Chains A and B, each alone.
Chain A
Amino acid sequence: MVKRAFLGGFELLVLLALIRLGDEAYGVPISAEIERSSGQPVALSSVYVALGSLSRKGLVSSRRGEPTAARGGRAKTYFSVTAEGLSEARNSQRTLTALWQRLPALGGGRA
């Protein structure tokens, strides 16, 4: 039986933000996208931890950009979603949608 690791909640957010942003995504726009969607502040370091984890799973790829003066001579790392990453996002969507549809209505704001 093939064992597939599920994505963590924050990893999924990062993966979805990356899909929305396209190929020229790096840490700052990714965290800004998640902040816009969730309304919560995001630590840049946690975005990079998630990106590292996604990269090790083969779901995102990265390439180094050119160093710029605005960044104190440091290069950006651009990330993009791989075919496996897109497939994993679809799997997560299917799983979440199926689970969500089987939930009773969440009315009243109380469990």
Chain B
Amino acid sequence: MNVSRLSVVALRLLERLLGGPERESLIGDIAEQAAHGRSARWVWAQALLAIAGDTVRQTRRHPVASLLPAFFFGYGAAAILGSVRLLPGLRPLDQIMVGVAAGWVVGRSGGLPAVATFTALVLAMRSPIVQVPVMVFLDHFRGAELLASHGLAALPYSIAIAVVCIGAGGLWAACQRPVRAVS
């Protein structure tokens, strides 16, 4: 039986964000139920409950290691969206936080290969051949102006810092990723 696209998205999300020893069995169970005709709503509810529960358990087990990335992620996202106005002297700190946040998100969601890809993308963004068409494309959308001015435009100025931070974030996420236990 076919699985709806919405359910497939939920399963992909689970694969990326769920940890814990029961990860494979749980995703398999939800996939099996989706294949047997369970609604996308049911699949999404199961996926979100599983991710929320796993996040709470991880936070309770490792509060500092869990809350720091969350802080960086929140701060980084806010900085990218332009809602945080930094003092001029804190600009390097802003970039470090954006870099760490990007590294954490990329590392958490895709592992080291994704970190390498993202790093390559950031490096490529430094090249005008890539940067100019991207900025021209983004200029077509009013909503993308903030992203371009606060996020993408900020990263190329401190490539070295961003690359180091992204690498550190990726390594951290890779170390945090639980081993798929076979019981």
Contact = CB atoms under 8 A, between A and B. Distances in A.
Contacts of B21: 52
A74 B22 contact: no
Interface string A22-63: 000011100000000000000111101101100100000011
Given A72-B28, A74-B28, A76-B25, A45 B183 contact: no
B16 to A, nearest CB: 14
B17 to A, nearest CB: 12
A84 B169 CA distance: 44
Nearest to A51: B22
Interface stretch (B31-39, B99-107, B148-156): B31-39
Interface in B13-35: 20-22, 24-33, 35
B109 interface: no
Contacts of B53: 43, 45-46, 49
B145 interface: no
A77 interface: yes
A5 interface: no
A96 B14 CA distance: 38
A75 B28 contact: yes
Contacts of A45: 22, 26, 46, 49-50, 53-54
B182 interface: yes
A26 B32 CA distance: 12
A72 B23 CA distance: 13
B11 interface: yes
Interface string B52-82: 0110010000000000000000000000000
A74 B36 CA distance: 15
Contact of A55 (B33, B49, B54, B183): B183
A104 B48 CA distance: 42
Nearest to B33: A28
Contact of B183 (A27, A49, A62, A72): A62
A71 B50 contact: no
Interface of A: 26-28, 43-46, 48-49, 51-52, 55, 62-64, 68, 70-72, 74-77
Interface of B: 11, 20-22, 24-33, 35-36, 45-46, 49-50, 53-54, 57, 182-183
